Each structure stands twice: as C-alpha cells, then as structure tokens.
Amino acid sequence: MVFLRLSPFTIYALVSLLALSSSSILTHGAQNEPVVFPPSDKVPPVDSPQVRQWLSEINLSGAPNIALNTAQPGNPPECPTQPTRAADDVVECPVKNEWAPTFDNGPTEATPQLLDFLKEMDVKATFFVVGGNAAKYPETIMRQDDDGHQLASHSWSHAAFTTLTNEEIVAEIRWTEKAIFDATSRKVKYFRPPYGDMDNRVRYVLRQLGYTVVQWTPGPFDFLHTKDPGSVKSQISKFKSAMKSHSKDHSRTGGLITVESDETKDQVKVAKAGLKEGRERGLHLMTIAACLGDERVYA
C-alpha cells in the first residue's frame, strides 16, 4: 500500500474543490431537474407523459366546435396576418402618450444588442418569446428578467394557432411556460399569437390556461409585420413617418402597442431608431403590464 504525504495547503485545496463541486451539483438539482425539451422548430407531440399530465389538469370540454384552419398565414382571407380581435384582447395602451414597444420571436443572438440599448435608454419593454428559443438561450431570458423587462409567451414553435388542435395549443403554451420558468422562476400570463392568428376556439383554450391575449395597435405601424417591410433605411424612414402620424392624430384616445422583432441585427437597428424617435416625440415607453396598470406582472 502506498501512502501519499500531502501538505496542509494541498489538503485544504482538495477539500475546497470537492465542496465547490458538490455545491454546484446540488444547487443545479434543487433548482431544475434535467429536462429534454421538444424540437424547437416543430409543434410538440401531445402524447408525451409531460403533455398528458398538463392536459389532465384542465377542462377543454367547453371549447367551441370550430374547424381547424388549413390555410397558413399570408394566404388571406382564411388565415390573415392582420389579427382578429375580441373585446378583451389588448390592442392599445389606455393613455395616448404611452407606448408599449414589444418584441417577438426571440431570444436570438441579436437580443443582447437590443438589451444593451434599452439599458442605455433606461427603457423597459415586453418580450414575447418563442419557447424553443428560450430553451436555447436561457441566459438571455435571465438577463431580460434581471434588467426589468416583461416576459410573455409567443408559442413554442411559432405555428399558426388556428391550425392546431386544442391539445397542440396546450403543448405549445406549457412547454414555453416551462422554458421561461426554468430560467427565471416566472410564470407568464400574457400571450401574443403568431401572425395574430386567432379565433374563439383558440381564445377559449388560452383562457382556460390563464392567458390574456395581446395583439397590437392597428394603423401606420403595420408595415413592421408585413412579409417584405423593405430595407433597414426604408423601415427607419417609415417608422419615423408613422410616429409623426401618430403624434398628430388627435382623434386617437389610446396609446400604442407595436410589434417589432429581435430576430436579426437589422431588426434591432430599426427598433433602436424607432425607440429614439418615440422618446423624442414625448412618448412614455413602458411594458404591457405597466401601460395596463397591472401590478401583478406574472401569474
């Protein structure tokens, strides 16, 4: 048998290293059990044990009998990219000079650049995140929360919800919830449907899941979510014109909710120019919850 003679310093270092490793493993296990998320670019399967559990927790028997859509967004009038709205859908801030800028489809590699800019401007925004991306970039989700921004849901795979079954909608919503919750311990309660695609069947399922639907303010900012909005220079010019038009529209009593995106660096450039323009015109920039006076941001 061979005995090693270790110095007191070496023994201390080894003990400290072992203690640190054990602490890290225990902390990780205590916060989040290992989980395998579904593929980010597909509607999650509904026959997994996790989804079956979620389905057992809600009652969808009262859902309206509305046929699933077969047309995809961009093929109007069956499935338009302009949202269909119900009376309780959120489409504007109550006060005219308030603006809730919202960003869909992230997080991505471009998101930190936008977060840096928002921090410089001391602006809080709302991010309608795609669950598949949230699972890929949990550190960005954590930063968004730490910086004081509002997190909300934009589905798991960005599928058009009127084309999905009730069970698929539940899977999309709950997996997105889990990705956000695992990163932040926040349970989101606001949802924007991809493409604004919505009907009363989808609304019923979302209400059963505890969600408020947020669309956007119709009008001069609609170019932001068209298929071909134009070059960065063109979009910035349109954004400034739209902001000027809004500020001169004395018939409008409510404030703005706009849809932008943090998918690409070019989209972030457009957003930065638009945010500057809005502030220069005296608009008060805030989150969806703040503009609605909702002090309970999360469920």
Per-residue pLDDT of the chain (299 residues; tens, 9 = 90+): 444 444 443 433 443 333 333 322 222 323 446 679 999 999 999 999 999 999 999 999 999 999 999 987 755 444 445 566 788 899 999 999 999 999 999 999 999 999 999 999 999 999 999 999 999 999 999 999 999 999 999 999 999 999 999 999 999 999 999 999 999 999 999 999 999 999 999 999 999 999 999 999 987 787 776 666 678 999 999 999 988 888 888 888 899 999 999 999 999 999 999 999 999 999 999 999 999 999 999 99
Cβ neighbours of residue 203 under 8 Å, at least 6 residues apart? 86, 213
Establish if 30 belongs to a structural domain: no
CB 173 within 8 A of CB 299: no
Q: What is the pLDDT, as a whole number, of residue 78?
A: 41
Establish if 134 belongs to a structural domain: yes
One-letter amino acid of 261: S
Establish if 232 belongs to a structural domain: yes
Q: What is the CATH number of the domain that holds 277?
A: 3.20.20.370
CB 274 within 8 A of CB 236: yes
> What are 87's two structure tokens?
């009376």
Q: What is the pLDDT, as a whole number, of residue 18?
A: 36
pTM of the model: 0.85
CB 221 within 8 A of CB 242: yes
Domains identified in the chain, total number: 1
Q: What is the pLDDT, as a whole number, of residue 33?
A: 62
What angle (nearest 5°) sits at the alpha carbon of residue 258, between those of residues 96 and 299? 90
Quote helix, strand, coil % in the chain, to nearest 5.
45, 10, 45
Q: Which domain holds residue 246?
A: 89-292
Q: What is the pLDDT, as a whole number, of residue 227?
A: 64
Q: What are the C-alpha distances in Å from 34 to residues 24, 47, 122, 136, 206?
A: 14, 20, 36, 14, 27
Q: What is the pLDDT, as a whole number, of residue 148?
A: 98
Establish if 170 belongs to a structural domain: yes
Establish if 242 belongs to a structural domain: yes
> What are 234's two structure tokens?
């063109």
Establish if 213 belongs to a structural domain: yes
Establish if 21 belongs to a structural domain: no
Establish if 270 belongs to a structural domain: yes
Q: What is the pLDDT, as a whole number, of residue 226?
A: 65
